[in-house]
Chain A
Amino acid sequence: MGEHKLILGKDIYFWNFIVLMIFTLFEVGAVFFEEWPGTDIPISLYTVWGILIVVGIVKGFGIGAFFMHLWDDPRIYLRVALFPTIFVLLMLWGIGLSNPEGVTGLPGWCTPNWDSLVTER
């Protein structure tokens, strides 16, 4: 269990909690500020999106790995936790394919190159 690993006299739960709090501040701050603090440079919407995704991944990892003990627990629990990822990815794929722009709007790397299969006359 994480309480036996001490960093600066505090266990991993404490540091995980601090990291989660700091990253949540980043998350709220990214949306709250329309310009980088102290500058006139606007924060683009894609930057905000990037920050939200990165913060979400870090927070998800912190909660799953340390608060839910997946870091130390037997690997079977990690496998169970990751199992639905397959379905989540399938859902995301479905979102892409069912989008009206899915036929023409998706980047080339996620659409099959059907043209190469066309019989040339």
Chain B
Amino acid sequence: MGGGGASDVKNTVWVRALMMAGLIFGLAVVSYVGLGIVVANVKHQDYAESIDAYDEKNDAYVSLGLQITNLENQSENLDPGNVSADVEPYNALSEQISEVKAEQKAAKKAKDDAHHHEVEAHLSYLTYRVAGLTILFVGIIYTAFLVISGLLNSSQPDEHHDDHHGGHDEHEHHGSASPIILSFGCLLFLLGFPDFADGLHGLMMGSTKGSVGDLSVSMVGLTVVTAGIANWWREDLPFKGYGEQIATSEPFQGHHIRKAGIWVFLMSEVMVFATFFSAYLRMRTEWCTFWAFKENLIAGTTVDGCVTQDHVNDYNAGATVEALWPSALGDLTASDYLRPGGAVGTGDFWTMLPGAVNTFALIISSYTIVLALKVAKTHDYKAPTGVFGKLMPTKKAAIRNYLIITLALGTMFIVLKLVEWSHLIAEGFTIGTEQGSIFYVATGAHGVHVFAGLLIMLYMVFKADTVEWDEENAQGIEYFGLYWHFVDLAWVVIFPAFYLY
């Protein structure tokens, strides 16, 4: 803490890092055991039973089909058109065929219902399994992040913690090489990513031949990234707001260099997401989506490879769009699986829910980080009344808890996103198609941004609990907040474009 000596900060950092890491790891393990093992096993049992039920119904359906074929063969031999045939057995057989066909119709409905139940059971199982695994995975990374950075910070010489204990230099240099180290690590990771993905896939499939070597470049990159993050943490944790670098030349003269830097960085990010978005729009103009098919059909316009003159004629003769759509062999987008009225027909309230909840989660998290900044900049904090007063009794607790809420909402975003991906993949919407490729790359890139933001947020929660945020160093929350709002802003575009349109 803020008022303690330098060594006090050092020891607190190490102990607090371990305590927080232990708490997070414990929560992650409990969540994984609860969701990913206990509930998921119950759901898997349901799924296994639903597979058996489907097989049973399917066998019954197939068996009735064979029975009908046999009866029809017998019926051909007893055809009254044949002179030697007897009419009475023929009629009895015809009646029997009708009965079996009625049974087959009922069996088909039972089989379809069983299939529907099987799909529902599979998706339900995936929900809990993927949620549990994601929480565990995220928890392990949070824990490793806290332990590694806490350990490195505790080896920091005492004087490095001392810039806020009197006698500080207003003109102290606060530059850092950490962003360059981090960027270099990212470069290495991305350079090795194709091999990394192949190698990881090989390892997951049980093959080790050549797989470990494939991981090397990216693993070196990840190690450099970790070193960059840890070093950044080590440098920034004791920072109490003194010595902020000020730009000395136009156009940012007099402004904080960090603020100008984060804005320029965000603008480069705009370009990254604009590239995904324009690639998507460009490809979409060529796709025969259900939307395009419907609009052109209603307008009576033929489109090469999508709406034919036969479609238009059939539509004008009274056929529905839904009845004509399968013959168009159109392209399915993620929204066709997710939104009500989508071409696949599986979309309803529940399939829309994860994306909608995530949208609200990001907006709420944007607000909570603004509240954290507002409290940090407050000179005379007054605890609110009621339940909020108990949650936010002091300025320190209020800032920390608003940041924890933001962290929790962001983590929920990642969990729901992976659950949603698992459902889409299970339903056949994979990265192997053009539509799947741009969907998973764009939403995945956004997810990576959210996850990177969560790691920074974890650090900010940690700082809130140790060194503390106040009026002097609140710009740290403000600048990170700009990034977090940008991530929200990117989702404002991605959500309607990929999930609703």
Residues of chain B in range 249-308 having any CB-CB distance to chain A below 8 Å: 251-252, 255, 259-260, 263-264, 266-267, 270-271, 274-275, 278, 281-282, 285-286, 291, 294-295
Instruction: Give the chain B neighbours of A48 by CB distance below 8 A.
Output: 500-501
A24 touches B360 (CB 8 A): yes
B270 touches A31 (CB 8 A): no
What is the interface residue range for chain B against chain A?
A: 35 or more
B489 CB within 8 Å of chain A: yes
A74 touches B356 (CB 8 A): no
B371 CB within 8 Å of chain A: yes
B374 touches A13 (CB 8 A): yes
Of B275, B360, B489, which one neighbours A91 at CB under 8 angstroms? B275
A68 touches B352 (CB 8 A): no
Instruction: Give the chain A neighbours of B266 by CB distance below 8 A.
Output: 81
A81 touches B367 (CB 8 A): no
B187 CB within 8 Å of chain A: no
B274 touches A91 (CB 8 A): yes
Q: Which residue of A lies closest to B338 (CB)?
A: A31
A67 touches B485 (CB 8 A): yes
A21 touches B341 (CB 8 A): no
Q: Chain A nearest CB: distance from B346 CB in Å? A: 15
A3 touches B374 (CB 8 A): yes
Instruction: Give the chain B neighbours of A46 by CB distance below 8 A.
Output: 295
Instruction: Give the chain B neighbours of A98 by CB distance below 8 A.
Output: 282
B481 touches A67 (CB 8 A): yes
Instruction: Give the chain A neighbours of B341 by CB distance below 8 A.
Output: 34
B264 touches A80 (CB 8 A): yes
* Known contacts A17-B367, A28-B359, A56-B492; A95/B282 CB under 8 A: yes
A109 CB within 8 Å of chain B: no
Q: Which residue of A lies closest to B270 (CB)?
A: A84
Instruction: Give the chain A neighbours of B496 by CB distance below 8 A.
Output: 27, 52, 55-56
B51 CB within 8 Å of chain A: no
Of B267, B291, B340, B489, which one neighbours A84 at CB under 8 angstroms? B267
Size of A's binding interface in residues, CB under 8 A: 46
A41 CB within 8 Å of chain B: no
Q: How far does the alpha carbon of A24 sit from the alpha carbon of B266 in the complex, in Å? A: 23
A31 touches B500 (CB 8 A): yes
Instruction: Give the chain A neighbours of B295 by CB distance below 8 A.
Output: 45-46
Q: How far does the alpha carbon of A12 sit from the alpha carbon of B262 in the complex, in Å? A: 24
Of A17, A45, A69, A88, which one neighbours B291 at CB under 8 angstroms? A45
B485 touches A76 (CB 8 A): no
Q: How far does the alpha carbon of A34 sit from the alpha carbon of B260 in the complex, in Å? A: 45
* Known contacts A24-B359, A99-B285; A83/B267 CB under 8 A: yes
B274 touches A52 (CB 8 A): no
Instruction: Give the chain B neighbours of A3 by CB distance below 8 A.
Output: 374, 377
B493 CB within 8 Å of chain A: yes
1/0 per residue, CB under 8 A from B, across A77-89: the answer is 1011101100110
Residues of chain B in range 453-501 having any CB-CB distance to chain A below 8 Å: 478, 481-482, 485-486, 488-489, 492-493, 495-496, 500-501
B493 touches A28 (CB 8 A): no
Q: Which residue of B lies closest to A34 (CB)?
A: B341
A76 touches B488 (CB 8 A): no
Q: Chain A nearest CB: distance from B489 CB in Å? A: 5
1/0 per residue, CB under 8 A from A, across B358-384: the answer is 011001101100110010010000000
Q: How far does the alpha carbon of A24 sit from the alpha carbon of B270 in the complex, in Å? A: 22
B359 touches A92 (CB 8 A): no
Q: Chain B nearest CB: distance from A100 CB in Å? A: 8
B339 CB within 8 Å of chain A: yes
B388 CB within 8 Å of chain A: no
Residues of chain A in range 14-73 having any CB-CB distance to chain B below 8 Å: 17, 20-21, 24, 27-28, 30-32, 34, 45-46, 48-49, 52, 55-56, 59-60, 63-64, 67-69
Q: Chain B nearest CB: distance from A38 CB in Å? A: 17
B360 touches A21 (CB 8 A): yes
A91 touches B278 (CB 8 A): yes
B363 touches A21 (CB 8 A): yes
B374 touches A95 (CB 8 A): no
Q: How far does the alpha carbon of A21 sit from the alpha carbon of B363 in the complex, in Å? A: 7
Q: Chain A nearest CB: distance from B380 CB in Å? A: 14
Q: How far does the alpha carbon of A45 sit from the alpha carbon of B378 in the complex, in Å? A: 47
Of A13, A88, A92, which one neighbours B370 at CB under 8 angstroms? A13
B271 touches A84 (CB 8 A): yes
1/0 per residue, CB under 8 A from A, across B29-70: the answer is 000000000000000000000000000000000000000000
Q: List 28 A-B contacts (CB under 8 A).
A: A17-B363, A24-B359, A31-B339, A31-B340, A31-B500, A32-B339, A34-B341, A49-B501, A52-B500, A56-B492, A63-B488, A67-B366, A67-B367, A67-B481, A68-B482, A77-B259, A80-B260, A80-B263, A80-B264, A81-B266, A88-B274, A91-B275, A94-B278, A95-B281, A98-B282, A99-B282, A99-B286, A100-B286
**Beyond known contacts A17-B363, A34-B341: 6 more, CB 8 A cutoff:** A13-B374, A31-B339, A45-B295, A52-B500, A67-B481, A91-B274
What 8 A-B pairs are tightest by C-beta distance, nearest first?
A: A91-B278, A52-B496, A17-B367, A84-B270, A31-B500, A95-B282, A67-B485, A80-B263
